[in-house]
Structure 1
């Protein structure tokens, strides 16, 4: 038995030194304190990393079909009144939604940017009264724009529609009896000089398309999408705006929407005087699935963006003023999964920290001790200068 214990004793890789041979120094105490602090900080850092899940990114082909995308948008227009704005969506599948009022809200703002009244749900029909009929006849004239002799235009909108079908421009409505009872025109004049904050939630098909804020009521004339800006006359349509929020789905940890908080001002006066035009945002939407460590998943989207401004030049064919968001879907899906490091990996890192700091501090302590020893010896010999 003693022979086995003797052989085991010979295997000791940590031979002990008699305490009589130890020399303790002030520098050694300082190195011990500093190395202990470093060791504790590194341990806490490693422990935090061990407790916090890591995000692993993977790419795959998006094979989903027939889904929709939820878009949350919140934009402030300091120089465009609420009555002047409309919000439309359209996509390459041919689906078109004009002047959206479902889950869309407006907040009227004063010239200084303060809210004028409580936020209200956008309702296109709120600015329309019941048709006002003439006392002499139940069928009012279309002012030469009727397609048949018995066609009636009992509202201002019906007159405008008849003019559009003829391809005529209705530049003024002063002579239109039906338009004298249209609250839409009254609100345009009443809100002149105000601003507007418009926000809401849009549900669109998971295909390429666009949504835009533009002036005037929107119509579909054949294959053309038309906005009636005649009621604004020569007024400057200043689409200076602030994008408070724009997202294409639910948020996930670490998600960043590049357009949140972006402020865009109208360009300075140009050759043609006051400049207005189309603010264009081209978005590349990437389907994203975030999987938590407890297997809970979130299906959402992230996006990148490029910007452009297209000036409205005088004359026909000019760009419609407004803020346009054109989005396209990426065929690649990003899958983000939370993973937690194993305990063995954590234990290995802790051992590396302890051993590494202990070894380095021993080297530093030995260097300081030998330096002090050499300097002290030279001082004793009077050779230190």
Structure 2
């Protein structure tokens, strides 16, 4: 058994092709120590940075066809209009003509249109964040602001005086098809030919569809998600004004190391105008959100680099620095040795010339004597 083990060790020793130099033939130098310290420092720095890069994650975006048509769409809204609630009607009408009243699923309660100083500060902070990211918005900005979820406008206390505004807030489910969420004058009434609102007399000085959108989203709430209509403020002095928002809803599924859920993103195009039947501008004053569902779905996965790739990059860093430092040490040594040898030769030549001159001077002095 011992003989077999010795034979195995001999075979392994014969296969060892790495060069080895005895310590007796190695001479430590200051130059070699300097290169060793520099190489070791670079290795430590790059290994730490590589480890940080390996532990950090990134988002991978993929696209597929949305085949889930049987599920329902969750709508979350927080809207304040500068009109009393008793004169308003809020509904969702889908593509099939079916309507749902927001009053049965959400809260419609009197409120003040003006925010408090603290609430106004939070509102402006959200506006600044949204304006900054709206200029270069992409799918990578889906979970872009970590502290955006902390910017929540506080609930204002009930007004002590008579409120002239109406706040509509809450969540509700609707069919996952195109639809129209609108707020206009008059309560909705059933109609065999479609959707209609009962005309009511509203004092002219109370007709005002200026509105503030604190939050508007589709799907479950995602911490830090940016919704384009959040912190939107629109004002008008014309009672026959209509505000229209055209939304494109994109179903989104994302899987991270902390969350896994399905929600929806949306893009928006807005348009507002004053109704003037004499000039051919028809319609009904109010606030309209017309949304359409995209046939594509976005899949967002949080991923990290594989461990084998981390080992390969780590080996490349260590081996590359050792090889490069060895080449630089050799080149620098050859250069310095060549320069030093040249200087020594010039110094020796100069010394020998001075010695010959002194000898000739001595011989000439003797001849004269």
TM-score w.r.t. the length of structure 1 is 0.61
For 1:134, the equivalent position in structure 2 comes to none
Q: Is the 8 A contact 1:84 1:215 kept in 2?
A: yes
- Once residues 220 and 292 of structure 2 are traced to their aligned partners in structure 1, the CA distance between those partners, rounded to angstroms, is 18
1:214 aligns to 2:184 (yes or no): yes
For 1:149, the equivalent position in structure 2 comes to none
1:322 aligns to 2:291 (yes or no): no
1:70 aligns to 2:34 (yes or no): no
Given candidates 196, 203, 206, the residue that maps to 2:173 is: 203
1:43 aligns to 2:84 (yes or no): no
Residue 211 of structure 1, CA deviation = 0.7
- Unaligned 5+ runs, structure 1: 119-186
- What's the secondary structure of 1:260's corresponding residue? coil
For 1:101, the equivalent position in structure 2 comes to 103
For 1:110, the equivalent position in structure 2 comes to 112
For 1:90, the equivalent position in structure 2 comes to 93
1:80 aligns to 2:87 (yes or no): no
Residue 13 of structure 1, CA deviation = 5.2
Q: Is the 8 A contact 2:47 2:314 kept in 1?
A: no
- What's the secondary structure of 2:170's corresponding residue? strand
Superposed CA RMSD in Å reads: 4.2
Q: Is the 8 A contact 1:236 1:276 kept in 2?
A: no
For 2:243, the equivalent position in structure 1 comes to 279
Residue 6 of structure 1, CA deviation = 6.7
- What's the secondary structure of 2:79's corresponding residue? strand
Q: Is the 8 A contact 2:43 2:318 kept in 1?
A: no
- What's the secondary structure of 1:101's corresponding residue? helix
- What's the secondary structure of 2:52's corresponding residue? helix
- Once residues 84 and 342 of structure 2 are traced to their aligned partners in structure 1, the CA distance between those partners, rounded to angstroms, is 87
For 2:210, the equivalent position in structure 1 comes to 240
Residue correspondence of structure 1 range 1-385 to structure 2 within 5 A: 7-9=14-16, 11-12=17-18, 18-24=25-31, 28=35, 31-32=38-39, 35-36=42-43, 38-49=45-56, 52=57, 55-77=59-81, 79-98=82-101, 100-110=102-112, 112-114=114-116, 115-117=156-158, 190-191=162-163, 194-228=164-198, 230-235=200-205, 237-251=207-221, 255-261=225-231, 263-266=232-235, 274=238, 277-291=241-255, 298-313=261-276, 318-339=282-303, 341-358=305-322
- What's the secondary structure of 1:231's corresponding residue? coil
CA spacing shift, 1:291–1:5, aligned 2, 3 Å: closer
Residue 346 of structure 1, CA deviation = 2.5
Specify the structure having the higher radius of gyration (Cα).
2
CA displacement, residues 213-257 of structure 1 (integer Å, 9 cap, x when unaligned): 223323344535444564223236433333222221124577543
Residue 104 of structure 1, CA deviation = 1.0
Q: Is the 8 A contact 1:285 1:327 kept in 2?
A: yes
- Once residues 12 and 71 of structure 2 are traced to their aligned partners in structure 1, the CA distance between those partners, rounded to angstroms, is 74
Residue 363 of structure 1, CA deviation = 6.8
For 1:175, the equivalent position in structure 2 comes to none
Greater helix content: 2
TM-score w.r.t. the length of structure 2 is 0.63
CA spacing shift, 1:230–1:196, aligned 2, 3 Å: closer
Residue 89 of structure 1, CA deviation = 0.5
CA spacing shift, 1:211–1:7, aligned 2, 3 Å: same
For 2:358, the equivalent position in structure 1 comes to none
- Once residues 103 and 44 of structure 1 are traced to their aligned partners in structure 2, the CA distance between those partners, rounded to angstroms, is 51
- Number of residues of Structure 1 aligned to a counterpart in Structure 2: 297
CA spacing shift, 1:251–1:29, aligned 2, 3 Å: farther
- Once residues 233 and 59 of structure 2 are traced to their aligned partners in structure 1, the CA distance between those partners, rounded to angstroms, is 34
- Unaligned 5+ runs, structure 2: 1-6, 117-155, 348-369
